[in-house]
Copies of this chain bind each other. A is one copy, B any other.
Amino acid sequence: EIVEAIAGALGEGPLKGRRILVTSGPTHEPIDPVRYIANRSSGAQGTAIGAALAALGAEVIFVTGPADVPPPEGVQVVRVESAREMEAAVQAALPVDAGVFAAAVADWRVAQASDRKLKKTREGLPVFELAENPDILAGVSQMGEGRPGLVVGFAAETDDVIPHATAKRARKGCDWIVANDVSPATGIMGGTENAVVLITGEGAESWPRMGKADVARALAARIAAELETS
């Protein structure tokens, strides 16, 4: 592991010369200057993946929302807040050899964020009209020219993980989906471990529960093998 990190820092390793985009963390969608809608994501898994790819020698562009954990060393960090900012940063990072979309991007934003703090009024509760955010994973997966050779999406599910994630892979058009069960009972969200299922064109592989750094290293090795044969 230390040997890998040193090799990565020296620009050696199986991903030498590969440019890989990683998105990580939550997005925050403003309601007004003091309120926002957020996704529960510490950024821990995406950060570990960025570090593991860099350790294998990749040039990593790490696009991160406001995460709880600091970004990894040895990557190019691009900080964003909202889904629309993340989409712009992703577009600016292309072309890449592979894209790993680990961020928990908000599906919706408030259509008209207010410039002023919303007040309690006698007329009652405010209404938030929602608008759909750009689907960053689908957008990159369905690119014609310039599509990354490997596009990896993530699926945080609370039930029926494999069917939901398999359907998501088909719907988005990505190559792989890394799926997990984030039900509160699993303790995965915000925790140090993860239990993922990798959905590829060949089917579903359930990986044993392990530390997020180990999941990241296994995924990075798998990406390196895939890019080698492609």
Contacts and interface: CB of A to CB of B under 8 A. Distances in A.
Interface of A: 28, 31, 33-41, 104, 106-108, 115-117, 120, 125-128, 130-132, 156-159, 182-184, 189
Copies of this protein in the assembly total 2
A158 B40 contact: no
- Residue from A35, A104, A159 with most neighbouring chain B CB atoms (10 Å): A35
Given A116-B158, A130-B125, A158-B116, A35 B38 contact: yes
Contacts of A36: 37-38, 40
Contacts of A120: 107, 132
Contact of A117 (B31, B106, B132, B158): B158
Contacts of A115: 158
11 contacts: A33-B184, A33-B189, A34-B39, A34-B104, A34-B156, A35-B39, A36-B40, A108-B126, A125-B132, A127-B130, A128-B128
Contacts of A130: 125-128
A37 B28 CA distance: 9
A120 B164 CA distance: 12
A35 B34 contact: no
Nearest to A114: B158
Contacts of A104: 34
